[in-house]
Structure formats: C-alpha cells, structure tokens
Amino acid sequence: MANKKNKGSLQAEYPNLYDGISADDLDACMSFAEDYKAFLDISKTEREFVKNSIEAAEDLGFKSIDKIKKLKAGDKVYASIKDKGLILAVIGSQPTSEGINILGAHIDSPRLDLKPNPIYEENETAYFKTHYYGGIKKYQWTTIPLAIHGVVFSKDGKAHEIVIGEKDDDPVFYITDLLPHLGSEQMAKKASEFIPGEHLNVVIGGIPVKGKEKEPYKEAVLKFLNDNYGIVEKDFVAGEIEIVPAMKARDVGFDRAYIAAYGHDDKVCAYPALMSLLAQERPSKTCVTILTDKEEIGSYANSGAQSVLYENFLMELLALTGDGSFDMLKFRKMIAASKMLSTDVSNAFDPKYSSVSDSRNSAYMSHGIKLEKYVGARGKSGTNEATGDFVAEIVGIFDKNSIPWQTGELGKIDAGGGGTISAYMAKMGMNVIDAGVPVWSMHAPYELISKIDLYYTYLAYKAFIENI
Ligand code: MN
Ligand code: MN
C-alpha cells in the first residue's frame, strides 16, 4: 500500500489507512494491537518495561553481553542500563565497523513520583506527597483511579517491589478536586495554576491504628507497608515509587479503531521497536534497539539517552565482533556510518484544537508513521535536523517496501514545541530522523492512538532495520 500515489498528478496524497484496507491487513493490525495492549498493561514503568523486554528477549536466545567473549553473525545480546534502560542487538553478517542500524525509543512516561519523605496525615486522612515527572497538565491527574508501582531499597540493599491498584480487587489511590458548587474562584484561575504541584497529594488511608500514636492514620499506613513489604518510613528516601493511572489499555470506538492507554508516549514506539528487533534472525547489518529512560525530563542521568552507558554497549559490539581490541577512531567511523530512527511519538492533528497546528504540515490520525525532519521549538531550537539525503533514503526504503508514511511538524511555529532523543544520538555522529506514531491527548494520563498507525509503524521499523 503506497501512500504517495501520484495518480497522474504531481501532488502528494496521504490517505487514511483504514479506508480500503484489506480484511487480512485489518486482522493483522487488530492482532498486533492485542499483543501491544497486553504488554503495555504489565509495563507501565521503565523498570517493568525493561524486565518484560529482557524476559521476551531471553526466550528468543538473547544473552547479557557481560557473559560474552566473542560475537558472530546471528548472535543476540543485550545490556540492562541500570534496570531502567535497555539496549539489544542482533549481529549481522556484514562487519559491524561498516555501520549498524538503530531504533531508539524511550520507556519513561509522565507521572507522579513520591517525594523522599512522602507520608503524612491531615484531618484524619493519610496521604502521599508527590513530585510530578515530565510535562503534565496537573488538573488531569485529579479524580482518576491511580496505582502505585515501584521499588523501595532498604539499607541491606534488598529491593522491595510494590504494585497496588492493577488487579480487579486491589484498592486504588486518589487525588481530590474541589466540587463545582464551591469552585468559582478556582475555575477563574488559569488552568496551569488551579491545581498547584503541591496539591497533587494522594489519599492512601483513613482507618487509624488503635492506641495513642501521635499520627494514628499515618502510623496505620506505615504498619501496613511494614507488614506487607518489610519497609519503614526512612526507606522511602531510597524509593522509586511512581503513581500512574490504574486504567488498563482499552479499545476505543464502536469499530475499535483506537486504543486509549497510559504511557503511549513512548511505549507505542518502544514496543514495535523492540518487536521488530526480536523478529531478526540473520540480518545483513547489525541491528540495535535502544530503550532509554529520563527522556521526559531531558534524557539526563546514567539511564537517559545522554548517558555513555549506551555508547559503551556499542563499543563492546565493535570490539567483540572484531578481535576483542578497541580502537576509538574505528568506533567513531562505525557510528558515522550508522543510521537511526528516533522512534518517538508526536501529535496528531486534532480538529477541536486546529488553531495550534498548520493543517498543511501536520500528521493525521490513521495516516501512518509520522516522519519529522526536525522537531524543536521557535526557530528550530534544540532540534536534530536530519539531512535531506538521509530523509530521501528513508522515504525510498518505505516506498520500496510499500510502507505508508506521512510528515508534519509538532504544531505551529510559535505555538510551542518539543524534543526527542534524536539530538543526543546525532551528536555521536550517526544519521538520525524522528519517526513515530501520532497521538491525541499526548502526555494526558490516558492517551489515544490509532491501531493502524501502530501496525504500520511496526512494519516501517522492520523495513528500516532490515533494508537500510
Ligand atoms: Mn516521547
Ligand atoms: Mn513525551
């Protein structure tokens, strides 16, 4: 299905991909969506995504690179990046030094993290204090069911994993908002101000311990946590507890065209980037998928895309596919010859909010993977801009493999903007372009994507790593 049909005219067309789809393609699309939803529901945090990805990879014969002395064509290896990022490779028959094909997504999503001293009580209710992570509209996080996911490390180094709010009979957690009857002053405020960050406090308990404790409601929560997870209040300082929406991924529409879920950004690209790598057996070029953390706050930390730990793995790939020695110049040349899709989501044109988008330079829901030559803000600030010849090469691969694609910018020029990991990867020297699934309500607790975009994005990623 080629989308740039010229039909005797010189003008480009970017059709809706559900329009005229064959029954077989629709079946394949619906079935890929089922697998994605199942994976997403058990992978809401970066740690969970890494754990489940490693499990899937090991089932297919992937091994941790730590245990490897030499790599040959067909070998499958991975490295966990602090358990919050992951990098995986399938070794190709061509020398790695001639360049590798890379897909790179991020697996962190906007959420509420617990503060280091999170538990308090007020007016006979126990609460968690949170600090939001990434760009959110704070008011969207009130009055929805919330789940707790994460890990607390005690001084003995033991990890205490906590997941509450996902099973049907689990309790959920909740942030209150003001009733409209008394909300007139609140409603007159700007949306960025009417729910301050310090109001994102989560209700976690309301039955006190018996006795004479100073704070019996807080004490009851601490007792529950100690009985069930063996932790005490001070352990939270070494905690990584994330508050995420408790909702599961659900089909949307009478025809089930869409999926609503928490964390499509960027797991709706990370999942097909992982799956297209796992589908490789004997590629000609070495294929790599990178799943990074901390993108939503600038790709910092040792698990973010700016960390050298991802680079270390690529250095090991070069050394272990050769004679085991490492040569920096050879490495730099390998990276310069490498090609990457930065597989991150972008906005889809929303007719209700058409004023923020240039309709002639916008991606549309169900029109396929969105190729973005550049992202950034204002005068293209902060962007990786892909070179024209690299864009042409990608378009050539997609067209040759009948992969429909579209293009567009993230909104009007002065309406805002955003970044991805592409700039950091380009800095290493490789050719990079952003290409991902268009999203409605991006960064909301429950985002919307089209199943047909997910499916053709998977085919696009596969075509890229197999053919470029
Ligand atoms: Mn993203
Ligand atoms: Mn984002």
Query: Contact 140/444 with Cβ under 8 angstroms?
Result: yes
For residue 384, is it left (φ>0), alpha (ψ between -120 and 50) or beta?
A: beta
Across the chain, mean pLDDT equals: 96
Closest listed ligand to the CA of 372: 1
Which residues neighbour 358 within 8 Å (Cβ) at sequence distance 6 or greater? Answer: 409, 411, 412, 413
Average pLDDT score over residue span 200-210: 97
My answer on whether 270 and 229 are in the same domain is: no
Q: Classify residue 391 by burial, with Cβ atoms within 10 Å: 0-12, 13-18, 19+.
A: middle
- Which residues sit opposite 104 in a β-bridge? 290, 342
Domain termination residue (choose one: 220, 245, 270) = 245
Average pLDDT score over residue span 106-133: 98
Average pLDDT score over residue span 112-128: 98
- 266 CA distance to ligand 2 centroid (A)? 7
- List of E strands, 196-278: 202-205, 239-245, 250-252, 258-261
Query: Contact 108/291 with Cβ under 8 angstroms?
Result: no
- State the pTM of this model: 0.96
My answer on whether 382 and 280 are in the same domain is: yes
Question: What pLDDT, on the 0 to 100 scale, is given for residue 399?
Answer: 96
Question: What pLDDT, on the 0 to 100 scale, is given for residue 249?
Answer: 98
Which residues neighbour 174 within 8 Å (Cβ) at sequence distance 6 or greater? Answer: 143, 144, 145, 146, 202, 203
- 256 CA distance to ligand 1 centroid (A)? 24
Structural domain includes residue 18: no
My answer on whether 84 and 206 are in the same domain is: no
My answer on whether 376 and 386 are in the same domain is: yes
* CA–CA gap between residue 304 and residue 30 (Å, rounded): 32
The yes-or-no verdict on residue 6 having pLDDT over 90 is no
My answer on whether 159 and 270 are in the same domain is: no
Closest listed ligand to the CA of 109: 2
My answer on whether 328 and 446 are in the same domain is: yes
Which residues neighbour 23 within 8 Å (Cβ) at sequence distance 6 or greater? Answer: none
- 250 CA distance to ligand 2 centroid (A)? 20
My answer on whether 312 and 220 are in the same domain is: no
For residue 408, is it left (φ>0), alpha (ψ between -120 and 50) or beta?
A: left
Quickly state the pLDDT bin for 271 (edges 50, 70, 90).
very high
Question: What pLDDT, on the 0 to 100 scale, is given for residue 8?
Answer: 61
Question: What pLDDT, on the 0 to 100 scale, is given for residue 7?
Answer: 53
Quickly state the pLDDT bin for 156 (edges 50, 70, 90).
confident
Structural domain includes residue 255: no
Question: What pLDDT, on the 0 to 100 scale, is given for residue 4?
Answer: 52
My answer on whether 56 and 78 are in the same domain is: yes
The yes-or-no verdict on residue 122 having pLDDT over 80 is yes
My answer on whether 451 and 375 are in the same domain is: yes
For 151, the enclosing helix (H) or strand (E) is: strand 146-153
CA-CA-CA-CA dihedral for 294, 298, 302, 305, to nearest 10: 90
Question: What pLDDT, on the 0 to 100 scale, is given for residue 213?
Answer: 79
What is the tens place of the pLDDT at every residue in 360-392?
Answer: 999 999 999 999 999 999 999 988 999 999 999
My answer on whether 104 and 160 are in the same domain is: no
What is the tens place of the pLDDT at every residue in 48-61?
Answer: 999 999 999 999 99
- 330 CA distance to ligand 1 centroid (A)? 32
Structural domain includes residue 17: no
Which residues neighbour 445 within 8 Å (Cβ) at sequence distance 6 or greater? Answer: 140, 141, 144, 244, 245, 247, 262
- 105 CA distance to ligand 2 centroid (A)? 11
Quickly state the pLDDT bin for 179 (edges 50, 70, 90).
very high
Structural domain includes residue 254: no
Query: Contact 367/15 with Cβ under 8 angstroms?
Result: yes
Structural domain includes residue 122: yes
Structural domain includes residue 4: no
- 94 CA distance to ligand 1 centroid (A)? 32
Tally of structural domains, the chain:
2
Phi, psi of 61 (to 5 degrees): 95, 5
Identify the three-state secondary structure at position 48. Answer: helix
- 399 CA distance to ligand 2 centroid (A)? 28
Closest listed ligand to the CA of 267: 1
Question: What pLDDT, on the 0 to 100 scale, is given for residue 357?
Answer: 95
Question: What pLDDT, on the 0 to 100 scale, is given for residue 381?
Answer: 92
Question: What pLDDT, on the 0 to 100 scale, is given for residue 9?
Answer: 77
Domain hosting residue 392, numbered range: 23-109+262-467
- 302 CA distance to ligand 1 centroid (A)? 18
Question: What pLDDT, on the 0 to 100 scale, is given for residue 465?
Answer: 97
- 323 CA distance to ligand 2 centroid (A)? 40
Structural domain includes residue 202: yes
- 264 CA distance to ligand 2 centroid (A)? 9
Q: What is the CATH number of the domain that holds 126?
A: 2.30.250.10
* CA–CA gap between residue 432 and residue 384 (Å, rounded): 8
- 296 CA distance to ligand 2 centroid (A)? 5
My answer on whether 121 and 216 are in the same domain is: yes
Average pLDDT score over residue span 306-334: 97
What Rg value do the Cα atoms of the chain yield, rounded?
23
Question: What pLDDT, on the 0 to 100 scale, is given for residue 3?
Answer: 52
- 162 CA distance to ligand 2 centroid (A)? 25
Q: What is the CATH number of the domain that holds 434?
A: 3.40.630.10
- 11 CA distance to ligand 1 centroid (A)? 31
Average pLDDT score over residue span 244-255: 98
The yes-or-no verdict on residue 429 having pLDDT over 70 is yes
Domain termination residue (choose one: 201, 216, 245) = 245
Closest listed ligand to the CA of 437: 1
My answer on whether 288 and 221 are in the same domain is: no
Identify the three-state secondary structure at position 173. Answer: strand
Question: What pLDDT, on the 0 to 100 scale, is given for residue 155?
Answer: 84
Question: What pLDDT, on the 0 to 100 scale, is given for residue 154?
Answer: 85
Domain termination residue (choose one: 215, 245, 275) = 245
Pairing of strands 125-133, 111-122: antiparallel
Structural domain includes residue 5: no
